[in-house]
Structure 1
């Protein structure tokens, strides 16, 4: 009985505050107050207040046990160790990272084949930043050639 009265008084007070904000033409604030004012009455009418008090009691008992029980602290230590091991093995890594297959390749996606003496050494690949063939001297000496090159590399 007392909890019902308290819930409906809280709802009434919230609706009065919402009305005052509406009177001053602060519509968004008035609607927010009205929404918040309906929560206590809704909780009482759906009988969720006893559930909330049971949850509060259970959390209080858990917190008391957390502080006083060494077994709980051991469990927290084990959970921390598990999180550390999962982080060390890279459970949350993206698809471009090492799959952890144990081949010893590290972060490389594929291992390079050693060159056999019969095939000889292959020609060296050109570097990524090498100059493009066909550039004229005017393009090389322009004031904005460096800026243009950066923009071309980024696709702008």
Structure 2
């Protein structure tokens, strides 16, 4: 009974705010406010609020939530223990599997002949500062600066 009254009051207040918002010529915001303010009344009319109120005040429901929490803790704890015990076994299996499949599969197929070009060192870049500024000058001239 109290929950239904509170939901009705919240809806009435929301609709009042929506009317004020519409008066200020913000119709889209007013429609959104009206939609949100009708949700509590709809929940009361469908019986969801009564069901939630009965569940929140029921000791049996709280005991059920406690049992669900204990089950979750047991499952999570068993996963942690499983990971700690099986970690070394999985690493050894991973190494054996990696060696057995293709030990040289990640080696490059081009051999040692083709190497990527080395980047110029900072000393060679600093030797010709005009080249660096020529790019910047070209960009500035392009934009008329």
TM-score by length of 2: 0.49
Higher relative contact order (CA 8 A, sep 6+): 2
TM-score, length basis structure 1: 0.46
More helix by percentage: 2
